[in-house]
Amino acid sequence: MRILVITGSAHKKGTSSCLADAFIKGAEEAGHVVCRFDAAFKNVHPCIGCDSCRKNERVCVFKDDMQELNPELLKAEAVVFVSPIYYYDINAQIKAVIDRFYANNSVLKGADKKASLMLTYGDETEESAEGAIASFRGMVKYLEWDNVGIVSAKGCYVLDDVINSEYPKQAYELGKSL
């Protein structure tokens, strides 16, 4: 299976990167091919809803790193979103990427894809992640993709918090199970 992992954190060795690494390890051990796109280190212009992509065969007016991501997105059989929660939702770096899915909406909607969400946040209650989880579930339902799991790593403010938790194992097992 071809898996696309889209991360959002600007911390190369942070909590959500730790989950992404664990997921990828499990997925690769299971024989899957994984492509990782670290959105925080890419140039992705926000969608402006100009509809140029609708008029020009899914070609966006912005020539940025989505040109690198789009072929991988279209080939992927599973898409995994990995984000820190900064303020009750996925972070802006991932949201910019998701908004740019619009250019490929006609191909993505109804495609036979699996999707997963992995979140990290310092708060001790799941309330902080409810917005991200609801957004993910709504997007997956709209796209008609199969939601294969959510890892919601609460109480993980710094790297040691996530390392000393069960969450990397959950991410690894999720990657291995696809």
| Residue 54, pLDDT score | 87
Region 23-35 average pLDDT: 98
Asked if residue 8 is part of any domain, the answer here is no
CATH number at residue 102: 3.40.50.360
The number of C-alpha atoms within 13 Å of 85 and in the hemisphere containing its C-beta is 28
108-129 CB burial, b ≥16 within 10 A, e <16: beeeebbbbbbbbbbeeeeebb
Query: Does residue 176 contact residue 27 with C-beta atoms inside 8 Å?
Result: yes
Q: What pTM, to 2 d.p., does this model score?
A: 0.96
Asked if residue 3 is part of any domain, the answer here is no
Residue 166, domain extent: 34-177
Give the chain's domain count. Answer: 1
Q: pLDDT class for 58, splitting at 50, 70, 90?
A: confident
Query: Does residue 113 contact residue 81 with C-beta atoms inside 8 Å?
Result: no
Examine the pLDDT at 3 and tell me if it is beyond 90. Answer: yes
Q: pLDDT class for 57, splitting at 50, 70, 90?
A: confident
Asked if residue 16 is part of any domain, the answer here is no
pLDDT per residue over 9-19, tens digit each? Answer: 999 999 999 99
Asked if residue 51 is part of any domain, the answer here is yes
- SS3 at position 48: coil
Of all residues in the chain, what percent carry a pLDDT higher than 90? 94
| Residue 8, pLDDT score | 96
Distance CA 84, CA 134 (A): 15
